[in-house]
Every structure is written in structure tokens, then in C-alpha cells.
């Protein structure tokens, strides 16, 4: 009989319990309708669930993980017959990667922009010009004091 040794990861256990990952019975419905799985050979929400349940962090947490390929479309969330929330597990894994300071540069730049400006994209001179042409109000550095209160960063 083929057996897989269960590893020990408190972080993955926390995610598995909080997001009901252990209710997954590997039906693959989430894979069949997943747009990211359709266009990527190494992205498979069912495998992600399995690794979380088995406590396997290798290749699952960090900037090189396939978790960043999820489009957050919520299709798996709606289709899963077990009532689990595959997307929540993926988002929890992203947050864990971020907490460990191991996420893709593109994600890090969005994080910095939110902390600096309160928005996810940089307000470039081109954006300012377009806003002016559309008679939209100026966007500056956002409400920094409020952001500082929320994030504790300056």
C-alpha cells in the first residue's frame, strides 16, 4: 500500500483547521473549473489542499509557489461540494509567505504602494494627467496619518 508521511507544520495546521481544508475529498471539481489550472501545468488547487493537509510546506510557501497564479476568481469557492473554501486557503498561504518576507517582487511593490499611498497602484505622472483631463480631483499621498494608524508603519 502506498503511504505518505505526514509532516509537521504548525502554520499549515492552523490554515487547514481554520479553513476546513481537511474536509476536501479530492473530487477535483475545483481543478476542472479553475482558469489558472487550465493555463498552468503547475497550478492545481486540489494538490494545494492535499499539501496543506499533509503539512508539506516545500514548494507551497514562498515566492516560487504556484499559489501566486490564482486569479482569485472565486469559482472554486462556489463549486466545492465539500463546502470548503479553496481560495481562502490560497490567500492564507499568500499571507503566510508575506509574513515570512518571501513573496514575489510584484506583490511586495503593491504592498509598499498601499502603505505609502493607500492604493494598490502607483499614481504616476501619466495617471495624474489622465485624471486632470477627466476633471477628476488630484490624488496625492493619501490620508497618511490614517494609514499610519491602521498599519503602524510610517
* Chain residues that interact with ligand SF4, rule: CB under 6 A: 24-30, 34-36, 45-46, 49, 70-76, 80, 82, 84, 86-87, 90
CB count in 10 Å sphere of residue 88: 16
> Would you say 28 or 113 has its CB closer to ligand SF4?
28
> Would you say 49 or 65 has its CB closer to ligand SF4?
49
CB count in 10 Å sphere of residue 6: 10
d(CA 67, CA 99): 15
> Would you say 34 or 147 has its CB closer to ligand SF4?
34
Q: How far does CA 140 lie from the centroid of its chain?
A: 28
User: CB 13 → ligand SF4: shortest distance, Å?
Assistant: 17
d(CA 46, CA 34): 10
User: CB 140 → ligand SF4: shortest distance, Å?
Assistant: 34
Amino acid at each position: 500500500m502506498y503511504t505518505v508521511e505526514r509532516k509537521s507544520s504548525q502554520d499549515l495546521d492552523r490554515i487547514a483547521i481554520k479553513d476546513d481544508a481537511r474536509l476536501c475529498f479530492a473530487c477535483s471539481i475545483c481543478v476542472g473549473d479553475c482558469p489558472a489550472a487550465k493555463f498552468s501545468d503547475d497550478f492545481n488547487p486540489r494538490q494545494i489542499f492535499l499539501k496543506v493537509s499533509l503539512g508539506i510546506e516545500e514548494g507551497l510557501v514562498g515566492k516560487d509557489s504556484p499559489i501566486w497564479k490564482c486569479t482569485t476568481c472565486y469559482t472554486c469557492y462556489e463549486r466545492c461540494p465539500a463546502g470548503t473554501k479553496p481560495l481562502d486557503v490560497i490567500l492564507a498561504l499568500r499571507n503566510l509567505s508575506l509574513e515570512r518576507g518571501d513573496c514575489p517582487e510584484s506583490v511586495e511593490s503593491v504592498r509598499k504602494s498601499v502603505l505609502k499611498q493607500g492604493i494598490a497602484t502607483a499614481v504616476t505622472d501619466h495617471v495624474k494627467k489622465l485624471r486632470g483631463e477627466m476633471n477628476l480631483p488630484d490624488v496625492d499621498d493619501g490620508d497618511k496619518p490614517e494609514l499610519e494608524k491602521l498599519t503602524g508603519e510610517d
